[in-house]
Amino acid sequence: MKVVGHLTIALLVLGCMTMASSCFAFFPEPGELAASLEKETHPLSSFQAILSFPKYPDVSCNLWVKGNLWRQEFVETVQGRPRLVGAALGTRDSVTRVFPPNGRIPLPGLVVWQFSFRRWLDMGIDPAIMSYQFLIDRPCLVVGAEDGQMHASQLWMDKERHVPVRAMWHKEGVRYDLIWDAWSRLGNFWLPHTMWRAVDGQHPLEMHIRWNGVNINLNDGLFSASAMDRQFRGTALYPTSSPLFSLWQGTFPGHQAAD
């Protein structure tokens, strides 16, 4: 069943299939959606997670999030030895530091998952258009698109859990697609344990999430740009030949650090 689920998600991000919609007469007001989304995601004020990539098993990503700040570090294992190959800092909206300095990196998918409803509207989702559809076996409220409108900017929210399960948006003529999957309850939170990311329906990247702590105490220095500068500026990080980073540089919505 797990294999079938992964295959179905892969087909979804490739745009090869759509899910049947259901007809319901009632749609909530945008204000209600904003409130329910904030209720489920806002109390998750900090967390630490490790992302792994089944297609690229030698690479992992350590992610820390506290409020509007995040930090991630990429580790590649070569001949059994882990070594740091990249690091970044950012906010909910931008990347503020990247090492190596000429690198590009996308906003972490778990940061995007915590976007406010207002942020999604700013990204071009039309709250006047709604539909009910299924993502695999989960009933969803889709904001911004009717059934079959796969090229519209849209946010899919689980109808029962009130959390985002899929988002599609456009930037500079490119369509980005994120799916959060494999949910389980951790404390008071529904949390995804798998993410899929694709661009223009191509190069679907599967990521597995291991949650190491939620609402934990994280030192402010971990998110300090000056501290990261002192740690990495002038330091040559280990080079990497992993195609994962070439994929990110070339296809995914990357950001260079602001000057």
pLDDT in tens, 187-199: 889 999 999 999 8
Per residue in 218-251, pLDDT (tens digit) is: 999 999 999 988 888 766 577 787 888 776 655 5
pLDDT tens per residue, range 82-93: 999 889 999 988
Q: Between 20 and 65, whose confidence is greater?
A: 65
Q: What is the pTM of this model?
A: 0.86
Predicted local confidence at residue 128, as pLDDT: 94
pLDDT at 245: 75
Q: Tell which CATH classification among 2.50.20, 2.20.130, 2.30.240, 1.10.260 matches the domain 22-239.
A: 2.50.20
Lowest average pLDDT, out of 6-15, 87-96, 212-221, goes to 6-15
Domain boundaries, the chain: 22-239
Residue 148 has pLDDT above 60, yes or no: yes
- Which DSSP string do the residues of the chain spell out, in sequence order? -HHHHHHHHHHHHTTS--PPEE--S----HHHHHHHHHHHHTT--EEEEEEE-TTSTTEEEEEEEETTEEEEEEEEEETTEEEEEEEEEEESS-EEEEESTT--EEPPHHHHHT--HHHHHHTT--TT-EEEEEETTEEEEEES--TT-TTS-EEEEETTT--EEEEEEEETTEEEEEEEEEEEEETTEEEEEEEEEEETTEEEEEEEEEEEEES----GGGG-HHHHHHHHTT--PPP---HHHHHHHHHS-EEPPP-
Q: What is the pLDDT of residue 249?
A: 59
